Amino acid sequence: MKIGITLSLGSEYESLWINGIKLNVLNLVKTLQQIGDHEVYILDTGDNVKDLTKVSWDYTKYPIYKFSDKSTETDLIIMLGTSVPTELIQKIKKYRPNNKFVKYQCGNNYVIDMERVIFNKDAGIPSWDHGHDQTWLIPQQEYQNKEYYQLIYRQNPEDLKVVPFVWDPEHMERQSLGLKLAGKKFPNYVPKNRKDKKISVMEPNMNVVKYSLIPLMISEKVFRESGVDAFKQIYIGSGNNLIKNKYYLNMIKNFDLINQPNPRAKFVPRYPVSLFLAEETDIVISHQWENPLNYAYLDALYYNYPLIHNADFIKDSGYYYEGFSINQGAELLEWVLENHDNNLEEYSKKNKSVLSRYLTTNPDVVNTYKKLIENLFEPGTHDLSYEYNYKTNTYK
């Protein structure tokens, strides 16, 4: 079977790190390649890049073709990076009735759509094309989005599937090696004195789902209680736009972290994760709202950085606090600052166990996708519950 996964390139050699969508595509390609029975490739639906060898990944390992050149010979089209208009789906299905289309949802569209309606009156036209056979959504989006998609796409409940989340360290390792070859630091946790430790927050601050204020407040509480030697610095990634907002500045101006001759909080642009970890990080604090899986969290765990987080799907790794509990998060930060360096071996062992369940090469995950595809073409081939189990990243 030939399987194509959609993406729209913006420019030649476009960075993998400007958003998560390219990594989503590459990781799904690698997962489906593990099945072994299929030819899996990327379909570029854009028209910005003429020479598709000019991409920021190994195109021999992750092949990419123009959608217009390859779509009519592709048996399964997974619309991940971009959607295909309803009319085009119908046209291709008329030409090849057995073709299947899956809409693969990675973002929190309910929240994104809500914010566009309320805050951006000129947001354009929503991409609510339908006509695909099934919608697959990653597990962290189920709670807010599953029934939302069902109504939008006019699908029966059985046509919406929560699917395993897939992650791979390959591209981050490649980027980290590039840093090393360029004479820069390699991301790797190194113990040091408490007063020299730096905290990083990597939330994108683009919407309410992943926003950095709670991590800043956790750090503020520890700084107030433990004094100027509590830690060296806190870096707010993707924070350069926050400090252009007068309301935000007035919120934080009386924080002890800010109200210093040399403020301990620095607001910096978005950095690639490997660079941010290598240069500015000893501890990562994160906060999310109904988005309990994220590549950045897994990346930090992979390099054994202490991760203080509220992501309940990985509560068995890192240092987990509940919901919006600033006090609990501050207790954990204080403990990490004092004790983490005596806990490295146990921490690493725990992280490896959790990371393995998301790997693109995890046999149980690969087998689940194999069965999903076979059930798509021959319903009832496999008896699957489709009830997601975060402890295994498969089904109960």
| pLDDT > 90: percent of the chain | 85
Q: What are the distances in angstroms from CA 353 to CA 20, 277, 391, 392?
A: 24, 21, 10, 10
Report the first-to-last Cα separation within the chain, whole angstroms. 28
Number of residues assigned to the chain: 396
Q: Comparing C-alpha atoms, which of 18, 299, 314 is closest to residue 140?
A: 314
Give the pLDDT of residue 182: 74
In the CATH hierarchy, which top-level class contains the domain 2-168+359-395? alpha beta
Mean pLDDT over residues 311-323, rounded? 97
Sheet holding 100-105, edge to edge: 64-66, 39-44, 2-7, 76-79, 100-105, 134-137, 160-162
Q: List, for residues 113-168, the tens digit of each pLDDT value.
A: 999 999 887 777 887 778 999 999 999 999 999 999 999 999 999 999 999 999 99
- Give residue 102's region: left, alpha or beta (phi > 0; psi -120 to 50): beta
- What's phi and psi for 166, nearest 5 deg? -120, 140
User: 261: how many CB neighbours lie within 10 A of its CB?
Assistant: 4
Residue 91 CB partners (closer than 8 Å, separation 6+): none
Give the pLDDT of residue 179: 75
Question: With 90 as the cut, is the pLDDT of residue 11 above it?
Answer: yes
- In angstroms, the CA 178 to CA 183 distance is 9
Give the pLDDT of residue 89: 93
- In angstroms, the CA 180 to CA 175 distance is 9
Q: List, for residues 329-354, the tens digit of each pLDDT value.
A: 999 999 999 999 999 999 999 999 99
Provide the pairing of β-strand 283-285 with 265-267.
unpaired
Question: With 80 as the cut, is the pLDDT of residue 253 above it?
Answer: yes
Give the pLDDT of residue 127: 75
245, two tokens: 């907002």
Give the pLDDT of residue 20: 83
Give the pLDDT of residue 108: 93
Q: What are the distances in angstroms from CA 331 to CA 198, 273, 321?
A: 17, 26, 9
Give the pLDDT of residue 174: 87
Sequence letter at residue 364: D
Domain ranges in the chain with CATH number 3.40.50.2000? 170-356
Give the pLDDT of residue 240: 93
- In angstroms, the CA 288 to CA 290 distance is 6
Give the pLDDT of residue 130: 84
Whether the CB-CB separation of 313 and 388 falls below 8 Å is answered with no
Give the pLDDT of residue 336: 98
Give the pLDDT of residue 26: 97
Give the pLDDT of residue 15: 87
Give the pLDDT of residue 341: 97
| pLDDT > 70: percent of the chain | 100
Fold exhibited by the domain 170-356: Rossmann fold (3.40.50)
Q: Comparing C-alpha atoms, which of 43, 103, 38, 27 is closest to residue 393?
A: 27
Q: Exposed e or buried b for every residue in 114-132, given b needs 16+ CB within 10 A?
A: ebeeeeeeeeeeeeebebb
Q: List, for residues 172-200, the tens digit of each pLDDT value.
A: 888 888 777 777 788 989 999 999 999 99
Give the pLDDT of residue 165: 98
**Torsion sign across C-alpha atoms 44, 161, 76, 370:** positive
Q: Comparing C-alpha atoms, which of 265, 301, 281, 273 is closest to residue 197?
A: 281
Question: With 80 as the cut, is the pLDDT of residue 285 above it?
Answer: yes
Give the pLDDT of residue 120: 80
Q: What are the distances in angstroms from CA 73 to CA 99, 100, 209, 351, 376?
A: 9, 12, 39, 42, 18
Residue 257 CB partners (closer than 8 Å, separation 6+): 216, 219, 220, 223, 234, 263, 264, 265
- In angstroms, the CA 390 to CA 396 distance is 9
Question: With 80 as the cut, is the pLDDT of residue 367 above it?
Answer: yes
Whether the CB-CB separation of 187 and 223 falls below 8 Å is answered with no
Q: List, for residues 32-70, the tens digit of each pLDDT value.
A: 999 998 999 999 999 999 999 999 999 999 999 999 999
- In angstroms, the CA 173 to CA 277 distance is 12
Question: With 90 as the cut, is the pLDDT of residue 271 above it?
Answer: no
- In angstroms, the CA 281 to CA 307 distance is 11
Per the prediction, the chain carries an average pLDDT of 94
Give the pLDDT of residue 122: 78
- Beta-bridge partner residues of 307: 284
